[in-house]
Amino acid sequence: LQQRRGLRLSAPAAIQVTVRDALNQALDEELERDERVFLLGEEVAQYDGAYKISRGLWKKYGDKRIIDTPISEMGFAGIAVGAAMVWLRPVCEFMTFNFSMQAIDQVINSAAKSCYMSGGSISVPIVFRGPNGAAAGVAAQHSQCFAAWYGHCPGLKVVSPWSSEDAKGLLKASIRDDNPVVMLESELLYGVPFEMSEQAQSKDFVVPIGKAKIERQGTHVTLVAHSRPVGHCMEAATVLSKEGVECEVINLRTIRPMDIEAVEASVVKTNHLVTVEGGWPQFGVGAEICARIMEGPAFNYLDAPAVRVTGADVPMPYAKILEDNSLPQVKDIVFAVKKALNI
């Protein structure tokens, strides 16, 4: 009625939403949308999740949709894969991806390869999700990035969100996908609020798998990262802009399939490339990006060698000062950019 009278109605404004709440929204909306979707994992039901990602879902959907499991990753991952083979849509939560090593046979040999080995007759629409990479003070066995591990394997899709919009949109897209998806979240981002647009607040919002996002436009150097290091790149870009260096920051969002076209287009514009990741350097995500750029048409536009910023090539130390020095910091990215630009 107000619109008919010519009055202008204000659109819903963007709001601040934590990554934790964005993931919770995505799960809630997809559980409501499709009765085939269910969540299983350790402490996901009555305890509301170890990181409270599944807060309130057990009370709303009950034991058949939100399932607490024993501490047996190989067992419950196998149950989830079997359920996906008969066209349910399980979301299998690992309390951390370090524990997915207990179930890696199920993830790779059962989930990733079944469609190929069955000649396309068996789809496995499953999501393996949970925190990945370094947390804080949990030492070597709980602080490794699995992006390169799972990104190496054909048959999987691998996503790695940074912001709340990434988290919500990628999880919804992953649940709806007919292929197995590994979703690598960051524990250190769960409590971080990000602006969520009006569009992202819709139940129909998804982030397409395989599409990177330019978080900041720039002309002098391309910074490519995924997960938490995207934030470090944004901070480094702010620091460098005060010195007259404008960085283009690409949030990779998806590790496999990789949106190398977005990186190539940026490198053609900036003529310089720096990759940033929390994982180890050897055979890492940055190494793959550099190889793809070298093998493709954008190589001819590089004015200097690409530079990688990675975690240190050591098991994660426990002491905080050593931990900080084992992970990429803003100062490391600034140094790498200046090295690439020879300034």
Do residue 129 and residue 232 come from a single domain? no
pLDDT confidence of residue 12:
61
3-state secondary structure of 37: strand
CA-to-CA distance for 324 and 277, rounded, in angstroms?
14
- Annotate 249-266 with three-state secondary structure: EEECCEEECCCHHHHHHH
Full pLDDT tens readout for the chain, 343 residues: 444 454 444 556 889 999 999 999 999 999 999 999 999 999 999 999 999 999 999 999 999 999 999 999 999 999 999 999 999 999 999 999 999 999 999 999 999 999 999 999 999 999 999 999 999 999 999 999 999 999 999 999 999 999 999 999 999 999 999 999 999 999 999 999 999 999 999 999 999 999 999 999 999 999 999 999 999 999 999 999 999 999 999 999 999 999 999 999 999 999 999 999 999 999 999 999 999 999 999 999 999 999 999 999 999 999 999 999 999 999 999 999 999 999 9
Q: What are the residue numbers of the active site? A: 73, 142
Same domain, 61 and 112: yes
As a whole number of angstroms, the distance between CA 52 and CA 68 comes to 14
Q: How many CB atoms lie within 10 A of CB 257?
A: 12
Give helix then strand counts, H and E, for the chain: 12, 14
9 occurs within a structural domain: no
Same domain, 125 and 223: no
Asked if residues 222 and 270 have their Cβ atoms less than 8 Å apart, the reply is yes
Helix (H/G/I), strand (E/B), else coil: 18: strand
Both 217 and 328 in one domain: the answer is: yes
Number of domains in the chain: 2
Give the model's pLDDT for residue 2: 47
Q: What Cα–Cα distance (Å) separates residue 66 from each residue in 82, 291, 309?
A: 17, 42, 40
Q: Could you tell me if 252 and 167 lie in one domain?
A: no
Q: Which domain holds residue 154?
A: 15-201
- Structural contact between residues 226 and 162, judged by C-beta atoms closer than 8 angstroms: yes
Q: Are residues 107 and 24 in the same domain?
A: yes
Sheet holding 221-225, edge to edge: 213-216, 247-251, 221-225, 273-276, 307-309
Please give the radius of gyration of the chain, using alpha carbons only, rounded to the nearest integer.
21
Stated as kind and residue range, the H or E segment containing 77 is helix 73-85
At residue 14, the pLDDT reads 87
Among candidates 135, 133, 210, which has minimal Cα distance to 169? 210
- Domain-ending residue, one of 140, 172, 201: 201
Which of 150, 171, 201 delimits the end of a domain? 201
Task: Name the domain boundary from 201, 234, 264.
Answer: 201
End-to-end alpha carbon distance in the chain: 61
